[in-house]
Amino acid sequence: MVEVTVLSDNTVAESRPVGLVGEWGFAAAVGDVLFDTGQSDAAYHNAGLLDCETRFDTIVLSHGHQDHTGGLPEFLVDEPTVVLHPEAWTPRYNHGDHIGLPYARTKIEHEADVVEHRDPREVSSGIWALGEIPREYPDNPAGEKPVDGTRVGDHVVDDQSLAIETDDGVGLVLGCCHAGLRNTVEYAEAVLEDDVRAIIGGTHLSGMDRADVVETTDWLVEKQSVDLVAPGHCTGFEAESILRSKLNDRFRSIGVGTTIDL
């Protein structure tokens, strides 16, 4: 069994312990792996209140956006391994503001063992960082990045998720899912050669037209192997409402403090 505890999210799911903090961002303890670090020190703060581990030997970054990497320095204790796609270092912008990884590569490499990868990588027993995800179906671009002296639309090719092997199938933990939900699910199934049974985290459906959200939700409804959809962070209120109405008891609300056993 692998326990997933949400440490950073847009909302706080539990009233106890007192003092949990929400923010625009995502982080989760996935077994002995930290997946993303939120936007600030909130994930570290929440981990302490939740009696969760605050020192991780392995930290996986889903992609190079500030709301998933801003809390990294708090967890750079005893030189952990930081796993990320090589393009996570790419500068990113939204309406002129920098939204990329906010720390210099030299700083992180000074305090951690940095491992770059594009292919699936087992980061702990039965826990896989999927690496770069093929995109047969629509993805979720965000902001801009510099290319040859100009800024172009950013498809966030470094976006990756965690896939967890369980006795019942695959558990999937998403950071932001810029690669697209269907693309990510089908790639996880291909890599681990098993059905995805649970989906947890940011789906970035907030960046899609309503018709596309409905189409994606209908696909999930028809995919009977998925028992649990627990969206957070960048899913958006409207998309969550659609998911809840169509998935019924397969839907679960999450936020800071939520723990799910896979």
What pLDDT digit, counting tens, does each position of 215-245 carry? 999 999 999 999 999 999 999 999 999 999 9
What's the pLDDT tens digit per position in 76-116?
999 999 999 999 999 999 998 999 999 999 999 999 999 99
Rounded to the nearest 5°, which phi and psi values hold at 194? Answer: -160, 165
pLDDT tens digits for range 16-56 = 899 999 999 999 999 999 999 999 999 999 999 999 999 99
Residue with tokens 């998309």: 239
Q: Report pLDDT for 207.
A: 82
What is the band of 166 on the pLDDT scale with cuts at 50, 70, 90?
very high
Q: Which two structure tokens, joined as six digits, stand for 123? A: 């980061």
pLDDT at 178 over 90: yes
**Domains in the chain: ranges and CATH:** 3-261 (3.60.15.10)
Predicted confidence (pLDDT) at residue 120 exceeds the cutoff of 90: yes
Query: What pLDDT is stored for residue 14 in this prediction?
Result: 83
- Within 10 angstroms of residue 157's Cβ, the number of other Cβ atoms is 20
Q: What is the pLDDT of residue 42?
A: 98
Q: Is residue 15 pLDDT above 90, yes or no?
A: no
The one-letter code for the residue type at 250 is R
Whether pLDDT at 157 is above 90: yes
Cis omega (within 30 of 0) on the bond before 86?
no
Q: What is the average pLDDT value for the chain, to the nearest integer?
A: 96
**pLDDT, position 208:** 87
Q: Residue 95 belongs to what H/E stretch? A: none
Which value, in Å, is the radius of gyration of the alpha carbons in the chain? 17
Residue 110's SS3 state is helix
Contact between 254 and 27 under an 8 Å Cβ cutoff? The reply is no
What is the arithmetic mean of pLDDT over 165-190?
97
**What single-letter amino acid sits at 118?**
R
